[in-house]
Amino acid sequence: MPDQTLSADPVVPVSGKGKLWHTGTLSYTTGGLVILFCWLLWGDFAWQMKERSIPSVVQVLFNRFNATDFEAGWLIGSLPQALGLILGPIIAYKSDRHRGPWGRRIPFLLLSTPLVVVSILGLAFSPQMGAWVYRVGGMHAPGPEGAILAFLGLFWMLFEVATIIANSVFNGLINDVVPQEVIGRFFGIFRALSLIAGVAFNHWLLKEAEQHYLWIFVGLAALYGIGFAMVGFRVKEGDYPPPPPAGPSRGVVGFVQAAIGYFRECFGIPYYWWFYAFIAISWMSFMPINIYSIFFAKSLHMDLGDFGNCLALTFAISFALSYPLGAMADRFHPLPLGLCMQALYAVVTLLAGLYVTDTVTFGIALVAHGVVSGAWMTATASVAQRLLPRQQFAQFGSACGMVGSICGIAIGPLTGYLLDHTQHVYRYTYLLACGFNLIAFFCGFVLYLKFKSLGGPQGYIAPE
C-alpha cells in the first residue's frame, strides 16, 4: 500500500490542503481512507459470506440427518459459546500485548485463516467420511446418521475455534486502524455489505443447500482464504505504546497472575458490568429464533426456497437501513439508538409469539425479527468502540464475549429441551426472545444513565 495512503508517520499533503484522518500513529488522506475501507470491506465480505451461510447450511444438515432439537441447540448454540468463554479472553489478552513487525492483530488473523478453510472443507466432506466410517466399522459404528453427525460436530467445533480466534482480533483491528470520527458510518457500510452477502446466499444458494452443500462449502472456503489473506497482507497497523510489563513469573503461576490481572481490570469497574449485560443478553435474545428458524419453517412445511427468499427480503430491507443507521449512530450515539431498536424488537417478538400459526404469518414474523434485530446490530455496531478503553479494547471486548458465552451456553439446549417437551411448538422461541430482550433493555437503560453521568456523547472518557 502506498505510504501516502497508510503510514505510521504523519501524512502531509503536498498542497498543504485537504483533510487528514487520524487514529493513533496512523494518518490518512481521504483517498487513503477509501483504500483502507476497500481492503477491510473485502475481508468483511468474505467473513460475512461465511457467517451468513455456513450456520444455515449446518442447520440444514443437522435436520437432514435427524439431529434432535436438544442436539442442535447444544452444537449450534452452546458449543460456540463454551469455546468462546475459554479462547476469546486468552486470544484478546495476548493480542493487546503483542508487538511485532506485523502489528498486534494481523498475526492472529493470518493464523486463524487456514484453520477456518480446513474446517469448512471438513464440513463439506463430513457425510462422506461418516458413511465411510459406518461401512468400515460395521456393527461397532454408531449408525450412518450418528457417524455423520459426529463428523459434522467435530468440524463445526474446529470451525468455531478458528472463528473465535479471528473474531477476537478483527474488531480490534478495525478499532486500531479506522478513525473514530467515521467508525459508525464504517460499520454501517460493513453492515450493508453483510446484508448483500445475506441476500445473495439466501436467494440463490440456500435452496440448493440440501443437494449441493459440498460445492457451497468448497466455494466459501476459497472465498474466505483469499479474502483474509489479502487483509493480512495489505492492511498495515501503526505503532502502539509499550504493553504493560510482564509479570516475573512464568508457567502456571504466571498464567494465574495474568488471569487475576485480567479479571481485575475487566470486572473491577461496575460500570462495565452493565455494558457486558446489555450486549450479552441482547445477543442471547436473538438466539432461540436464529437457532431454530429452519426447524420452525420445516414444521410448517415451508419450502426451503421460500424460506431463503424471506431472509433475502429481510437483508434487502436491512441493506436500505444500514448506512442511515450508521450515520445516525455517529450523530446521536449508538447507545440510545440501540435502545430504541430494542423497544421495537420487544413488540415484534411478543406479537409473533402470540399469533404465528402458518407459513404466511411465519414469513412476516421472520422478516420482522430479522429487520429489527439487524437494525439493533447496525445501530450498536460501534458502541464498544465508543465506550470501552482504546488501549485494552480487545481485552474488554473479550470480557463482554465471556459474559455472552456464559449467557449463551445454556440458551440453546434450554430452548431445545423446551421444544422437545412441548411437541415442538417453535412459536415459543419468539416469546423467549421477547423476555430476554426486555431484560437487556433494562440493562441498557441503566448503562445509558451512567454514560450520561460520565459526560455523555460530548465529554465521555472511558473509566479505567
pTM reported for the whole predicted model: 0.70
| Per-residue pLDDT, 59 | 84
Q: With cut-offs at 50, 70 and 90, classify the pLDDT of residue 247.
A: low
The domain in which residue 449 lies consists of 21-238+250-459
Predicted confidence (pLDDT) per residue in 438-453, tens digit: 999 999 999 999 999 9
Q: pLDDT tens digit string along 417-431? A: 889 888 889 999 999
Least confident of 222-236, 328-342, 366-380, 407-421: 407-421
Residue 286's pLDDT band (cuts 50, 70, 90): very high
Q: Is residue 5 situated within a structural domain? A: no
243 part of a folded domain: no
Is 64 contained in some domain? Answer: yes
Is residue 113 situated within a structural domain?
yes
Residue 326 predicted with pLDDT over 70: yes
Among the residue ranges 137-141, 402-406, 436-440, 456-460, the one predicted with the least confidence is: 137-141
Residue that wins the pLDDT comparison between 438 and 68? 438
Query: Which CATH number fits the domain that encloses residue 222?
Result: 1.20.1250.20
Structure-model confidence comparison of residues 366 and 247, the more confident one: 366
pLDDT digits (tens, 9 = 90+) for 82-120: 887 888 888 888 888 898 888 999 999 999 999 999 999
- The pLDDT value recorded for residue 288 is 92
Higher per-residue confidence, 185 vs 402: 402
In a domain, 11, yes or no: no
- Domain membership of residue 16 (yes or no) is no
pLDDT, residue 6, reads 37
- Greatest mean pLDDT among 61-75, 172-186, 293-307 lies in 293-307
Positive or negative, the CA dihedral 405, 409, 411, 415 is positive
pLDDT in tens, 105-162: 999 999 999 999 999 999 999 999 998 988 887 656 567 888 899 999 999 999 989 9
Q: Is 427 within a domain? A: yes
User: Given this model, what pLDDT does residue 140 score?
Assistant: 61
Please write the tens of the pLDDT for every residue from 298-309: 899 998 889 989
**How large is the average pLDDT for residues 307-327?**
88
197 or 454, higher pLDDT: 454
Examine residue 160 and state whether it is found in any structural domain, yes or no. Answer: yes
- Mean pLDDT score of the chain, rounded to an integer? 86
Q: Among 17-31, 66-80, 131-145, which is the least confidently predicted range?
A: 131-145
How many domains does the structure of the chain reveal?
A: 1
Lowest mean pLDDT among 94-98, 208-212, 250-254, 264-268: 250-254
What percentage of residues in the chain have a pLDDT greater than 90? 42
